[in-house]
Amino acid sequence: MTVAFEVEPVERTPARERARLMAGAPFGEVFTDHMVTVRWSAARGWHDARLRAHAPLVLSPAAQVFHYGQEIFEGMKAYRTAGGPVVTFRPYANAERFAASATRMAMPELPAELFVGALETLVAADREWVPEQEGHSLYLRPFMIATQPTLGFYRPAQEYLFVVIAAPAGAYFAGRPMTVWLETEYTRAAPGGTGAAKCGGNYAGTLVAQRRAADRGCDQVVWLRDGHVDEMGTSNLFFVYGDEVVTPPLGDTILAGVTRDSVLTLAADLGYRVAQRPVTVTAWRADAEQGRLTEVFSSGTSSMITPVGHVRAADGGFTVGDGAAGTVTTRLRAELLGIQTGVRPDPHGWVHKIA
Ligand SMILES: *Cc1c(COP(=O)(O)O)cnc(C)c1O
């Protein structure tokens, strides 16, 4: 499917102003000149694909998204590789997950070609906004909202808007191991719920716990269910037992991270034993204290692979390994970064030239 995007005239930010904005940009607060929008209606399906100025959306205050929360999103990065092309990582995996999130939220599926075509159209137009510095990227945020103006809650909305916006991002990884909070009061997801969908409501419900964790000096919340580890707020969790790399199995309470899937593949490629099996909080603590569990790290697009050094909980805390980044974590991170930046071979065809 090739989609022709209607191109509206857009006033571009002058180069010097753009450089100033990009240099001082706190993540997610400076945006490129363009955005892409595509509309869907029950009568017409997907239509009206446009490349236009990044600008406020005009919506009815009765738009269903404001009342019943039909919203899904994705997060990805575009970056420059050594040779010059701008690439992104496994965009079809994100397209597939976006479609799965849509299905769970009773929203229309966006064809993968249209999803990737929208990313390509936007990045080609905003190529100058892709940072040059190593580790920096252009963060891409595709999302979909229910726009039908009705307070009636008798069926899913009959009109939707798909949008892609982009924001230059600095290198997230500071190399500092995280301190995480084991959350035992609130839950993020439940069996049969929406935990496996990347929908806005999942995040709204976790902010109160994230704020309390921050007040206790923690970087992230670890979400638990029946004493089992699920994942973190925006990343999945891995446990390293010597040469074995373990992550909890997917289900409807865990978001299927593209980075998670890539780490599982890479770890096997590198000769580690790989397992998807449940990890309990009790085992996490005991295995860390007895030295069987040697490393813990998180995986996700925004923070890539980040070590977990310290764990805090209502009944006290403990340290993983010596609290510093471990060798397996460091190696996996270097391999993944090498593939992503084009300095290592890409045997699985993960890197996609976008502009
Ligand atoms: C986005 C997200 C992840 C990580 O997914 P990636 O595709 O690796 O970026 C993990 N958990 C949650 C809850 C997420 O929202």
Both 160 and 184 in one domain: the answer is no
Both 310 and 250 in one domain: the answer is yes
pLDDT of residue 175: 66
Both 84 and 199 in one domain: the answer is no
pLDDT of residue 173: 61
Domain boundary pick from 102, 137, 170 = 170
Does 47 fall in a domain? yes
Both 47 and 158 in one domain: the answer is yes
Please tell me if the CB atom of residue 156 comes closer than 6 angstroms to any atom of ligand 1. no
Does 348 fall in a domain? no
Q: Which atom of ligand 1 is nearest the CA belonging to 300?
A: 8
Domain boundary pick from 170, 187, 219 = 170
pLDDT of residue 276: 98
pLDDT of residue 74: 98
List of residues 6+ apart from 245 with CB closer than 8 A: 238, 239, 263, 264, 267, 272, 273, 274, 275, 328, 332
Select from 76, 143, 236 the residue to mutate for testing ligand 1; criterion: most ligand atoms less than 8 Å from CB: 236
Whose Cα sits closest to atom 10 in ligand 1? 235
- Ligand 1 center from residue 253 Cα (angstroms): 12
Domain boundary pick from 145, 170, 195 = 170
pLDDT of residue 331: 97
Domain span holding position 328? 174-340
- Ligand 1 center from residue 197 Cα (angstroms): 10
Does 291 fall in a domain? yes
Q: Which two tokens stand for residue 243?
A: 């040469």
Both 133 and 275 in one domain: the answer is no
Both 328 and 180 in one domain: the answer is yes
- Ligand 1 center from residue 89 Cα (angstroms): 14
Both 40 and 148 in one domain: the answer is yes
Whether the model clears a pTM of 0.85, i.e. scores above it, the answer is yes
- The CATH number linked to 224 is 3.20.10.10
Both 101 and 188 in one domain: the answer is no
Both 159 and 201 in one domain: the answer is no
Both 161 and 181 in one domain: the answer is no
Q: What is the pairing mode between strands 295-300 and 273-276?
A: unpaired
What's the CA dihedral at 210, 216, 219, 223 to 10 degrees? -50
Cα–Cα distance for residue pair 37/56, rounded to 1 Å: 12
Select from 235, 253, 259, 350 the residue to mutate for testing ligand 1; criterion: most ligand atoms less than 8 Å from CB: 235
Specify the number of domains making up the chain: 2
CA atoms lying within 13 Å on the CB side of residue 286: 5
Q: Which two tokens stand for residue 354?
A: 């976008």
**Residue 69 dihedral angles phi and psi, to the nearest 5°:** 75, 25
Both 284 and 235 in one domain: the answer is yes
Whose Cα sits closest to atom 13 in ligand 1? 234
Cα–Cα distance for residue pair 329/38, rounded to 1 Å: 40
Cα–Cα distance for residue pair 128/223, rounded to 1 Å: 39
Both 106 and 203 in one domain: the answer is no
Each residue's pLDDT, cut to its tens digit, for the chain (355 residues) gives 456 899 999 999 999 999 999 987 788 999 999 999 999 999 999 999 999 999 999 999 999 999 999 999 999 999 998 778 999 999 999 999 999 999 999 999 999 999 999 999 999 999 999 998 888 999 999 999 999 999 998 889 999 999 999 999 987 665 689 999 999 999 999 999 999 999 999 999 999 999 999 999 999 999 999 999 999 989 999 999 999 999 999 999 999 999 999 999 999 999 999 999 999 999 999 999 999 999 999 999 988 999 999 999 999 999 999 999 999 999 999 999 999 988 899 999 999 999 8
